[in-house]
Structures are given as structure tokens and as C-alpha cells.
Amino acid sequence: MHAMNNSTALDQLLQVANESLQVRCHAVPIWQIPGYYFDPAGHQAAKRLMEADAQAAYTTALAHQITGEAVYADKAIELINGWASINQELADNDGPLVSAYLGVGLIQAAELIKSYTGWRKDNQNQFVRWMTTVCLPAWDGIPLRNNWWSWSLYAQLALFRFMDDRECFAAEAANLKKHIEDCIAPSGFIPEETKRGTKAVWYHYFALAPITAASKLILDETGEDLFHRTYPGGKSIKKALDTLLYYVDGHTEEWPYDKDQNIPPLGAHTWPLDLFEAMSKIYGDPSYERFVSPYRPIIGHINKNNGYFQSYAWVFPELQFIAK
């Protein structure tokens, strides 16, 4: 057994949120993000601009939601307003994807502080304008139907929820249902992601994290439950999750595609614990509970290259289920 961590998820959140109070906005007018596989160093340097700010905005907004402390909301507002007022363009190959999986952290933050009286309506409108004119066209234009589209749909659903645009939300919910049916095989594998060499297991996680987070948005907003829905051929989110869990939970050597899958030692800061902590709350499945319980509190997947959260589907998942 692993030693239980005595600090709570809230303790850990407040630690990050307090450190985040020192963060200054890193927004740039043209945010250029080269493709990771073409220019890893350039990609990571560009990404760090929003990684720092999304982490600070999200954790302070969540801390405000739970504690009611204005200082946290004010920091989140400063960072969100900074990006909304400065950034005018996404550029290069990975702009659409990175702006979705990091930008949705800013949208989540915005949602958490939406009713805070210190966030002026004109600034909220400016945020929506930036998102709809700079980010949304990039997300909508993604041609791939792999994890890129999963993140696009999640970011769009989060944005339309923030905007209270029910018509656009419903349209993207329909797109998500089609995407789930198209991308998950009856076996539970995601064929597009099985081709990703030694990172195929990671990419299964990276596709399912936004699919599940988007499904939770739909459940919260409309009551429609995609988690327990079975698609033609027996396809389901649950089958995909169970398939992923089997291989990360001690059976990596049995992965039927490329061998030597790149899977980190399990821990509170590593994938796919964040995903299965959230899903243990959705499904109440004893196997999910057994998988995550030794590592609680689960924080979220931290990018080992720089110490920031890698993306924003499930970050402090336990607290995401209580913050409303």
C-alpha cells in the first residue's frame, strides 16, 4: 500500500492558488505554437505562456468558488482580462489544439467567477469576443477527428455554457454524440489513437479526458446522460474507460499495438488518475475506486517538463464535483 497523503485536496488547491497570486499575465498579441513533433522546444516555450496563466486563473477561481475570498477572484479576472485584451491571433500548427486544452482552463475559471460582482460586464463581454473571434474559429476548423476534436468539442461546449447560448450548446452536444459513436470501437479502443506508437495509451487518455468532461457539462446543463448511453455495436464511454483501465492497471505489457508504451509511475499528479478519480464519482465502479484510492487526493496531470497542469479536463476532480 502507498502512504496516504494527510493533506486534503482543498489544502493542495489553496497552496497552488496562493502561489498563483504572484503570477503576472503572459499574453502576447500573436500566440505562435509550433507543432510539438517539429519543434518541441519552441512548442513548449510558447505553451508555457498560457500554462502559467491558465493554472493561476483556474486554481484561484476554484479557490474563490469554495472560500468566497475576493483576492482569488480578482487574480483570475486579471489574467482572463489580460488574455482577452492582448491576444489577437493564434498561429502555427498546434495553435488550435493547445488553445483548446489550455484555453478551456480559462473558460472554466470564467464560469467559476461569473457571478462575482468585481468582474465587470464589459470585461466579460471582451472575454467572449476574444474567445469567439480568435479561439472558436480555430477550434471549429480542426480537420482531425482524433483527440484534437475531443478537445475542440469540450472547449466549445464550455464556452457556449458560459455564454448561455443554448442553441450552439445543443448543436455541439449533438456533435459530441456523433464523435463518441465514430471514434470509439466496440472493443473499447479508439482506432485513431491506437496508431500513435509508444504514446498510444497516453492518447487514449488524452481523448477520453475531454470526452468525459464534455459529457459532464451536458449532464449538468441538460440532464442528458451520455455516460450510461450505449451506441450501436455496443460502443460506450464506459467500455472505452474500462479498456484503458485494464492496460494502465498492471497489464501494459498486454497492449495489443506497439510495445514499450510510455506510461508514468502512478501518482496524484499523473495521468490517468485524474480521469478515473472523476469517473469513480460518475459510475461508482469499485474497480475505479480501487485504482485511485491509494493516491488521493488526486490533483491532476502535471506536465513533467515544466510543472504546470498539462490540460483542463479534470484538475482537482474531487473539488470540481462540489464547486458549483
Peptide bond into 186 cis (omega under 30): no
Domain ranges of the chain: 7-141, 146-324
d(CA 45, CA 284): 40
Name the stretches of the chain with pLDDT < 70.
1-6, 324
pLDDT for residue 2? 36
Residues forming a β-bridge with 309: 302
Nearest to 206, CA basis, from 46, 55, 51, 314: 314
Question: Own/partner pairs for 212-216, CB < 8 Å, 24+ apart?
Answer: 212/237, 212/241, 212/275, 212/278, 212/279, 212/282, 212/313, 212/314, 213/154, 213/278, 213/313, 213/314, 214/150, 214/153, 214/154, 214/157, 214/158, 214/176, 215/176, 216/278, 216/282
Q: How much is the pLDDT for 63?
A: 98
Q: Cell 460582482 appears where? A: 117
**CA atoms of 65 and 70, how far apart (whole Å):** 10
User: How confident is the model at residue 322, as a pLDDT?
Assistant: 85
**What is the CATH number that goes with domain 146-324?**
1.50.10.100
Identify whether 40 is preceded by a cis peptide bond (ω within 30 of 0).
no
Q: What is the pLDDT of residue 6?
A: 62
**Gap between the Cα atoms of 34 and 159, Å rounded:** 25
∠ CA 161-162-167, nearest 5°, is: 40
Helix, strand or coil, per DSSP, at residue 247: helix
Residues 6+ apart with CB under 8 A from 230: 236
Neighbours of 171 (CB within 10 A): 14
